[in-house]
Amino acid sequence: MLRLLGLAALLNLLLLLPLWLRFGGIDTRWIALEAVLLTALLVLLPAGRLGWLRPLLTLGVLVALLAGLGDAATHLALGRSLNLYLDLPLLRSVFHLLEGNLGTAVAWAATLGALLLIGLVAWALNRALRAGQRHRPGAALGLMALLLLVASTTLMAAQWHHQRWLPVARAPAMDTLRFQGHQLVETHRAHRDFATRMAEAPSQATALPGLAGRDVLLVFVESYGESSVFDPRFAEVTLPRLDDMARRLEGAGLSVATGMLEAPIRGGQSWLAHASTLSGLRIDNSLWYRLMLASERPTLVDDFHASGHRSLTVMPAITLAWPEGEAYGFDEIHAAADIDYAGPPFNWVTMPDQFTLHHFEQRIRRPAEAPLFAQIALISSHAPWTPILPVVDDWDAIGDGSLFTQWEGAGIPPDELWQDLDRVREHYALSVDYSLEVSARWAADYLGDEALLILLGDHQAAPLIIGEEAGFGVPVHVISADAALLEPFLTRGFVPGTMPEPGPATHGLDALRGWLHEDFGP
């Protein structure tokens, strides 16, 4: 009897753990109906027939546990549900994030530790199932098991039809597997719908004569979202920076208009925001991303080629092969290895934003003979948000970046910082502040009279930091010495200055390409 109770408790813990991590509230979710059903089955079925069933039960419980834990982690990090069909490739990105923040040895140790833990859970579960088998249950135990089997099956059938007759009971494995099956069907349907949208999108590049001869710079600030402006926890840092930014730009003879657009994602997968902006299609998952790149549909890269621009991208976070850059058709790709940086990395951040902009200005833009269309990613505001570097006043002193060696090892180590979410949020705000200050100083000093700068966030920070109720909006600052270039944005609801108006965004980042066609096209 004690073995059966132990088995039921273990199954209950494994199946409910993802729900407790995702929602909290252990007091309202403390019975996993599958645990009751499986324990009852082990009592009632003859022991000799369970040899083939035990590995299947172990595998089923393990899959439900891992899928549930993955769903909880995806909600905390990205603000959405797990889609096994789309998200398994992200495991590689998770590993590289660990590697960048904690080092290769720790990343491998964490990976091997996780695999070992999964193996131990499987082993313990298999032993518990074996120990729970009985050859001849007594009449009382058999009757109790039969009643529990009928009750759990009835309650699970009710929950299948979205009725919960016992408030403290859940069917987590059934719900998880049904949801993933539904996701698979919906993903295939979305695949067809997206193919239709691509077929209806412009099939040829559109020249932008209204921007001919001008540098057009699309600069993404990592994790710069509406919460950093309107959430009081972050606004006390960001709002003074936006005021300073407005004064600095005005003092340099630059005009600025600001609005809010909706990113397709939160918490990560910046490449989906970049793809939405460049393509003019809302791309919020890896499948659509791959389809868009494989389709050879034109993007802003092709539009600016047709306008006589040389296209390039500066991506300091790219440390591995990046065939996507070639698929876009950029004339130049400046990944981390292509940037002559002699300073240290700062955890995941390969180089500080100030060096990225300095390198772009001195080594790429200044020698260019043709007008540029450049996509630049600023990554200092990417997690883990430590250390926060000071801004170097003298750009000429930056040189090859060896200047930044003096801050190597500075700040709180990520593993220590992330033990206190309040301090993490403080560092998040300070990192956005750093990126905005660097961007404003660079624009004031170097943008020039003819260029158009679009400085925008790529996505909101993770829901773990900003809360699950936060939206998807990202600020967009359009900056130029030629105020006429800002007029079309003002007519679309942008406002003068650096402070966006509160309220939900009415358009997504994918609208930007169409706007440029309408406002600066033939």
Rounded Cα distance, 457 and 473, in Å: 9
Q: 266 - beta bridge partners?
A: 460
Can the peptide bond before residue 387 be classed as cis, meaning omega within 30 degrees of 0?
Answer: yes
pLDDT of residue 303: 94
Task: Work out the mean pLDDT of the chain and round it to a whole number.
Answer: 83
Q: What is the mean pLDDT of each run of 10 residues along the chain (522 residues)?
A: 66 74 68 74 64 70 77 68 68 63 67 72 65 58 71 79 76 79 74 69 81 95 94 94 95 96 89 92 81 81 94 89 80 91 90 96 92 95 91 93 91 86 93 96 94 96 86 95 95 95 91 94 87
Helix residue ranges, H only, 224-269: 227-230, 232-251
Please choose, from the candidates 10, 26, 110, 130, the residue with its C-alpha nearest in 3D space to the C-alpha of residue 65. 10
Q: Which amino acid is at 260?
A: M
Position of tokens 């066609």?
517
Position of tokens 């409910």?
16
What single-letter DSSP state applies at residue 349?
B
Q: 256 - beta bridge partners?
A: 479
- Could you report the per-residue pLDDT of 347-374, keeping only the tens digit for each? 889 999 999 999 999 999 999 889 999 9
pLDDT of residue 316: 93
Bridge-based pairing state of the strands 255-262 and 495-496: antiparallel
pLDDT of residue 263: 95
Q: Are 349 and 383 in contact (CB under 8 A)?
A: no
pLDDT of residue 289: 80
* pTM assigned to the model: 0.75
pLDDT of residue 89: 66
Residue 265 tokens, joined: 């994602």
Q: Are 436 and 239 in contact (CB under 8 A)?
A: no
Q: Which amino acid is at 98?
A: L
Element (H, E) at 221: strand 216-221
HSE (CB half, 13 Å, CA atoms) of 14? 30
Please choose, from the candidates 213, 248, 455, the residue with its C-alpha nearest in 3D space to the C-alpha of residue 357. 455
pLDDT of residue 334: 94
Q: Which residues of 148-170 are buried (b: 16+ CB within 10 A; e: fewer)?
A: bbebbeebbebbeeeeeeeeebb
Residues 6+ apart with CB under 8 A from 226: 260, 460, 470, 471, 473, 474, 475, 500, 505
Residue 3 CA, distance from chain mean position: 44
Rounded Cα distance, 522 and 516, in Å: 11
Residues 6+ apart with CB under 8 A from 154: none
Residue 461 tokens, joined: 């920070």
CATH 3.40.720.10 fits 221-520, yes or no: yes
Sequence spans of domains, the chain = 2-185, 221-520
What string of DSSP letters covers 118-143?
A: HHHHHHHHHHHHHHH--SS--HHHHH
What single-letter DSSP state applies at residue 506?
S
What single-letter DSSP state applies at residue 232?
H
